[in-house]
Amino acid sequence: MTQPTINDVARIAGVSKKTVSRVINRSPLLSDATRTKVEQVIAEIGYVPNPQARALALKRNFLVALVHDGSDPQFALAAQEGMLAALHGSEYALVVRPFEAPADAAASLRLFLEQHRPAGVLLLPPLSENVAVAEMCRQIGVPHMRLAASAQTDAGNAFAANEREAAAGAVGYLIALGHRRIGFVAGPDLDAAAQERELGYLDAMADHDLDRGPALIAGGDFSFESGHAAGKLLLEVSPRPTAIFAASDAMAAGVLHAAREQGLTVPADVSIVGFGDTPLAEQLWPPLTTVRLPAGEMAAAAARRLVGPEQDDGPGTFATEFVARASTSPAPA
Amino acid sequence: MTQPTINDVARIAGVSKKTVSRVINRSPLLSDATRTKVEQVIAEIGYVPNPQARALALKRNFLVALVHDGSDPQFALAAQEGMLAALHGSEYALVVRPFEAPADAAASLRLFLEQHRPAGVLLLPPLSENVAVAEMCRQIGVPHMRLAASAQTDAGNAFAANEREAAAGAVGYLIALGHRRIGFVAGPDLDAAAQERELGYLDAMADHDLDRGPALIAGGDFSFESGHAAGKLLLEVSPRPTAIFAASDAMAAGVLHAAREQGLTVPADVSIVGFGDTPLAEQLWPPLTTVRLPAGEMAAAAARRLVGPEQDDGPGTFATEFVARASTSPAPA
DNA sequence: TTGTAAGCGTTATCAA
DNA sequence: TTGATAACGCTTACAA
> Using one digit for the tens of pLDDT, what is the confidence trace for A309-327?
666 655 688 999 999 999 9
Q: What residues of chain B lie within 8 A of the CB of A224, using their CB?
A: 279, 282-283
Rounded distance between C-alpha atoms, residue A15 and residue A34, angstroms = 8
Q: For residue B147, with 0-12 CB atoms within 10 Å meaning exposed, 13-18 middle and 19 or more buried, which class applies?
A: buried
A77 → closest Cβ in B77, B141, B285: B77
pLDDT (0 to 100) of residue B253: 98
Q: What residues of chain A lie within 8 A of the CB of B56, using their CB?
A: 50, 52-53, 56
Tens digits of residue pLDDT in A191-231: 999 999 999 999 999 999 999 989 999 999 999 999 999 99
Q: Which nucleotide is nearest to A58 (CA to C1')?
A: D11
Top-ranked range on mean pLDDT: pick from A46-55, A132-141, A267-276, B22-31: A267-276
- Give A194 or B108, the one with higher predicted confidence: A194
Angle at A264 between CA A276 and CA A259, to 5 degrees: 40
Q: What number is the average pLDDT over the span A149-158?
A: 76
Which bases of chain D are under 7 A from a protein CB atom?
1-5, 7-13
Residues 6+ apart with CB under 8 A from A306: A64, A119, A120, A121, A122, A143, A145
Residues 6+ apart with CB under 8 A from B161: B149, B293, B294, B298, B317, B318, B319, B320
Rounded distance between C-alpha atoms, residue A131 and residue A136, angstroms = 8
pLDDT (0 to 100) of residue B31: 87
pLDDT (0 to 100) of residue B315: 65
pLDDT for residue A130 is more than 70: yes
Which A residues in the span 305-324 are in contact with B, Cβ-Cβ below 8 Å?
Answer: none
Tens digits of residue pLDDT in B167-216: 999 999 999 999 999 999 999 999 999 999 999 999 999 999 999 989 99
Rounded distance between C-alpha atoms, residue A178 and residue A161, angstroms = 27
Helix, strand or coil, per DSSP, at residue A271: strand
Taking the Cβ of residue B115 and every Cβ of chain A, the question of whether any pair is shorter than 8 Å is answered with yes
Q: What number is the average pLDDT over the span B162-168?
A: 97
pLDDT (0 to 100) of residue A17: 87
Q: What residues of chain A lie within 8 A of the CB of B93, using their CB?
A: 63, 65, 95, 97, 112, 115-116
Q: Quick check: B252 and A251 in contact, CB under 8 A? A: no
Phi and psi at residue A95, to the nearest 5°: -110, 135
Of the listed ranges A143-157, A226-240, B73-87, B131-145, the one predicted with least confidence: A143-157
Rounded distance between C-alpha atoms, residue B203 and residue B182, angstroms = 13
Taking the Cβ of residue A4 and every Cβ of chain B, the question of whether any pair is shorter than 8 Å is answered with no
Of the listed ranges A110-124, A242-256, B235-249, the one predicted with least confidence: A110-124
Distance B66 CA to C11 C1' (A): 28
Q: Which of A99, A76, A86, A121 is nearest to A295 (CA)?
A: A76
Of the listed ranges A238-242, A252-256, B4-8, the one predicted with least confidence: B4-8
pLDDT (0 to 100) of residue A31: 86
Q: Quick check: A90 and A307 in contact, CB under 8 A? A: yes
Q: What residues of chain A lie within 8 A of the CB of B281, using their CB?
A: none
Helix, strand or coil, per DSSP, at residue A25: coil
Residue in A closest to B279 by C-alpha: A224
pLDDT (0 to 100) of residue A153: 57
pLDDT (0 to 100) of residue B32: 87
pLDDT (0 to 100) of residue A300: 96
Q: What residues of chain A lie within 8 A of the CB of B52, using their CB?
A: 52, 55-56, 61, 117
Taking the Cβ of residue B94 and every Cβ of chain A, the question of whether any pair is shorter than 8 Å is answered with yes
- Give B281 or A30, the one with higher predicted confidence: B281
Phi and psi at residue B272, to the nearest 5°: -130, 135
Q: Quick check: A93 and A64 in contact, CB under 8 A? A: yes
- Determine how many CB atoms are found less than 10 A away from the CB of residue A235: 21
A18 beta carbon to strand D: under 7 Å = yes
Q: Which of A151, A185, A153 is nearest to A170 (CA)?
A: A185
Q: Quick check: B201 and B163 in contact, CB under 8 A? A: no
DSSP letter at A10? H
- Determine how many CB atoms are found less than 10 A away from the CB of residue B239: 8
User: Cβ contact (<8 Å) for A62 and B284?
Assistant: no
With cut-offs at 50, 70 and 90, classify the pLDDT of residue A276. Answer: very high
Rounded distance between C-alpha atoms, residue B192 and residue B150, angstroms = 9
Instruction: Identify the helix (H) or strand (E) that includes residue A91.
Output: none
- Give A176 or A114, the one with higher predicted confidence: A176
Residue in B closest to A255 by C-alpha: B283
Footprint of strand C on the protein (CB under 7 A): A 14-19, 22, 29-31, 33-35, 53, 56-57, 59; B 2-3, 5-7, 17-18, 20-21, 24-25, 47-50, 53-54, 56-58
- Quick one: three-class SS letters along chain B? CCCCCHHHHHHHHCCCHHHHHHHHCCCCCCCHHHHHHHHHHHHHHCCCCCHHHHHHHHCCCCEEEEEECCCCHHHHHHHHHHHHHHHCCCCCEEEEEECCCCCCHHHHHHHHHHHHCCCEEEECCCHHHCHHHHHHHHHHCCCEEEEECCHHHCCCCEEEECHHHHHHHHHHHHHHCCCCCEEEECCCCCCHHHHHHHHHHHHHHHHCCCCCCHHHEECCCCCHHHHHHHHHHHHHCCCCCCEEEECCHHHHHHHHHHHHHCCCCCCCCCEEECCECCHHHHHCCCCCEEEECCHHHHHHHHHHHHHCCCCCCCCCEECCEEECCCCCCCCCC
Q: Can you state the angle between helices A6-13 and A32-45, rounded to 10 degrees?
A: 120
User: Cβ contact (<8 Å) for B115 and A48?
Assistant: yes
With cut-offs at 50, 70 and 90, classify the pLDDT of residue B154. Answer: low
Q: What number is the average pLDDT over the span B291-297?
A: 97
Cα within 13 Å of Cα(A288), Cβ side: 33
Distance A19 CA to C1 C1' (A): 10
Q: Is the peptide bond before A286 cis (omega within 30 degrees of 0)?
A: yes
Residues 6+ apart with CB under 8 A from B266: B256, B259, B260, B272, B286, B327
Q: What number is the average pLDDT over the span A284-303?
A: 97
pLDDT (0 to 100) of residue B186: 98
Q: What number is the average pLDDT over the span A293-318?
A: 85
Phi and psi at residue B214, to the nearest 5°: -60, -25
B257 → closest Cβ in A48, A114, A285: A285
User: Cβ contact (<8 Å) for A116 and B56?
Assistant: no
pLDDT (0 to 100) of residue A140: 87
Report yes or no on whether pTM surpasses 0.85.
yes
B76: closest CA of chain A, how far (Å): 11
Rounded distance between C-alpha atoms, residue B252 and residue B32, angstroms = 63
pLDDT (0 to 100) of residue A315: 64
Q: What number is the average pLDDT over the span B304-316?
A: 74
Residues 6+ apart with CB under 8 A from B131: none
State CA A332 to chain mean position distance: 37
Cα within 13 Å of Cα(B252), Cβ side: 33
Q: What mean pLDDT is reported for chain A? A: 92
Which bases of chain C are under 7 A from a protein CB atom?
1-5, 7-13
Rounded distance between C-alpha atoms, residue B237 and residue A220, angstroms = 44
pLDDT for residue A291 is more than 60: yes
Taking the Cβ of residue B326 and every Cβ of chain A, the question of whether any pair is shorter than 8 Å is answered with no
With cut-offs at 50, 70 and 90, classify the pLDDT of residue A102. Answer: low
Q: For residue A77, with 0-12 CB atoms within 10 Å meaning exposed, 13-18 middle and 19 or more buried, which class applies?
A: buried
Which residues on adjacent β-strands are paired with residue B94?
A96, B64
Q: Quick check: B64 and B303 in contact, CB under 8 A? A: yes
Q: Which of A177, A146, A199 is nearest to A273 (CA)?
A: A177
pLDDT for residue A251 is more than 80: yes
Q: Quick check: B178 and B330 in contact, CB under 8 A? A: yes
State CA A58 to chain mean position distance: 30
Q: Quick check: A144 and A120 in contact, CB under 8 A? A: yes
Taking the Cβ of residue B47 and every Cβ of chain A, the question of whether any pair is shorter than 8 Å is answered with no
Q: Can you state the angle between helices B224-236 and B249-261, rounded to 10 degrees?
A: 50
pLDDT for residue A1 is more than 70: no
pLDDT for residue B153 is more than 60: no
Rounded distance between C-alpha atoms, residue A245 and residue A172, angstroms = 11
Helix, strand or coil, per DSSP, at residue A156: coil
Rounded distance between C-alpha atoms, residue A87 and residue A83, angstroms = 6
Q: Can you state the angle between helices B51-58 and A51-58, rounded to 10 degrees?
A: 140
Which residues on adjacent β-strands are paired with residue B182?
B243
Residue in B closest to A62 by C-alpha: B116
Q: What number is the average pLDDT over the span A46-51?
A: 87
Residue in B closest to A282 by C-alpha: B224
Which residues on adjacent β-strands are paired with residue A146?
A123, A158
Rounded distance between C-alpha atoms, residue A321 and residue A268, angstroms = 24
pLDDT (0 to 100) of residue A28: 81
Which B residues in the span 125-184 are in contact with A, Cβ-Cβ below 8 Å?
Answer: 139-141
Which residues 37-66 of chain B have a CB under 7 Å from nucleic chain D?
53, 56-57, 59
Of how many residues is chain B composed?
333
The residue of B96, B139, B266 whose CB has the most chain A CBs within 10 angstroms, and thus the best one to mutate to test that interface, is B96
